[in-house]
Structure 1
């Protein structure tokens, strides 16, 4: 198998952190996303969504999307478990993954891509187009995240990690969600102190020193 990566991409970094937490190494090839390498062959055929990361398996199967790659690796290397040990734990981890991805990560991702000048012409991940950046998307993304973090805060005040007492992949996605909130200058520490404290704790883990 081989992982196709771009070190600076947040979605790729989610897999990098997962690998570090698991103590795994996989063959990796860096792909220059900024120069459009994903739109040229062989990458365009391998992954028509033109995003990193993606993984080519030994039988030719291509698996894209950060958490899909992590789930595949978890099946091969179940220890230490980062998706939960029991059926109930796995369901809770999946629940929090969906909450963070749908209500936090995705709105903030689109807010950032509509805000930062270097994303002009590629506001939709994996595309090149004349779709203009929108300040309304920036505002709405931050507003949606504000609602989400307000709902998360009481939970984080009573739990050591996102899905309960143990670190899981939900914390990885949560970390990158919060990092985008800080990048957009949202007042995380002032508005959601328990969530901010959790972020600081997770940030200190060796796997996150990327």
Structure 2
């Protein structure tokens, strides 16, 4: 296997945290995404979405999506389990994973890409000179995240981790959703203290020292 990576990319960092929690290291090639390294003909043939990370298997199969890479790694390296140990746990982890991704991380992705100058011309991941940044998407992303955090806060008061008592891939996704909110200077600490306490606890894990 070979992992194509770009250090600063949050999507790539999600996979690296997952690998670290598994105690795994994979052969890795760094691609300078900011300079368009992913748009070469050879890499386009491998990964037409031009996003990192992507994983090339020994048989030539390419997996070009962060969570899909994590699911594949979980299948071949099941310990420690990060997607749950039983059918019930796996369903609960998947539920929270989807909630944090769809209701938290995705709105934050659009907000960041439509606000930070580094993403000008690249508001759609894997594109260049595609669409202009829209300030309205920043406002709407922040509003959606506020709604989501308001729903999550009461749950986090009584939960050790996102999906229950055990650390899981849902915590990894949750971390990057909340980190994005802090990048946008959203007030997590005073408005959502249980979320902030969980975030601080997860941030201290060795795997998150990126």
TM-score range, shorter chain: over 0.9
Structure 1 residues 11-70: Cα deviation after superposition (integer angstroms, max 9, x where no partner): 000000001111011111101101001111211111000000000111111001111000
Aligned partner of 1:193 in structure 2 is 193
| 2:18 equivalent to 1:18 | yes
Aligned partner of 1:135 in structure 2 is 135
- After TM superposition, list the pairs within 5 Å mapping 1:156-195 onto structure 2: 156-195=156-195
Give the RMSD, CA atoms, in angstroms: 0.6
Task: Kindly state the Cα deviation for residue 132 of structure 1 after the two structures are TM-superposed.
Answer: 1.0
Question: Which runs of 5 or more residues in structure 2 are unaligned?
Answer: none
Alpha-carbon distance between aligned partners in 1 of 2:155 and 2:3, rounded to the nearest angstrom:
35
TM-score, normalization by structure 1: 0.99
Name the stretch that deviates more: 38-47 or 66-75.
38-47
Aligned partner of 1:153 in structure 2 is 153
Aligned partner of 2:66 in structure 1 is 66
Task: Kindly state the Cα deviation for residue 190 of structure 1 after the two structures are TM-superposed.
Answer: 1.0
Task: Kindly state the Cα deviation for residue 208 of structure 1 after the two structures are TM-superposed.
Answer: 0.3
Task: Kindly state the Cα deviation for residue 130 of structure 1 after the two structures are TM-superposed.
Answer: 4.4
Alpha-carbon distance between aligned partners in 2 of 1:82 and 1:22, rounded to the nearest angstrom:
8
* Off by >3 Å, runs of 4+ in structure 1: none
Structure 1 residues 135-192: Cα deviation after superposition (integer angstroms, max 9, x where no partner): 1000000000000000010111110000000100000000000000000000001110
Name the stretch that deviates more: 133-142 or 123-132.
123-132
Report the secondary structure of 2:114's partner residue: helix
Aligned partner of 1:125 in structure 2 is 125
- After TM superposition, list the pairs within 5 Å mapping 1:10-49 onto structure 2: 10-49=10-49
Alpha-carbon distance between aligned partners in 1 of 2:7 and 2:130, rounded to the nearest angstrom:
26
Alpha-carbon distance between aligned partners in 2 of 1:190 and 1:19, rounded to the nearest angstrom:
32
- Asked if structure 1 preserves the Cα contact closer than 8 Å seen for 2:124 and 2:130, the reply is no
Alpha-carbon distance between aligned partners in 2 of 1:100 and 1:65, rounded to the nearest angstrom:
16
- After TM superposition, list the pairs within 5 Å mapping 1:35-114 onto structure 2: 35-114=35-114
Alpha-carbon distance between aligned partners in 2 of 1:131 and 1:54, rounded to the nearest angstrom:
24
Task: Kindly state the Cα deviation for residue 7 of structure 1 after the two structures are TM-superposed.
Answer: 0.8
Give the aligned length. Answer: 210
Task: Kindly state the Cα deviation for residue 129 of structure 1 after the two structures are TM-superposed.
Answer: 2.3
Name the stretch that deviates more: 124-133 or 52-61.
124-133
Alpha-carbon distance between aligned partners in 1 of 2:175 and 2:101, rounded to the nearest angstrom:
11
Report the secondary structure of 2:58's partner residue: coil
TM-score, normalization by structure 2: 0.99
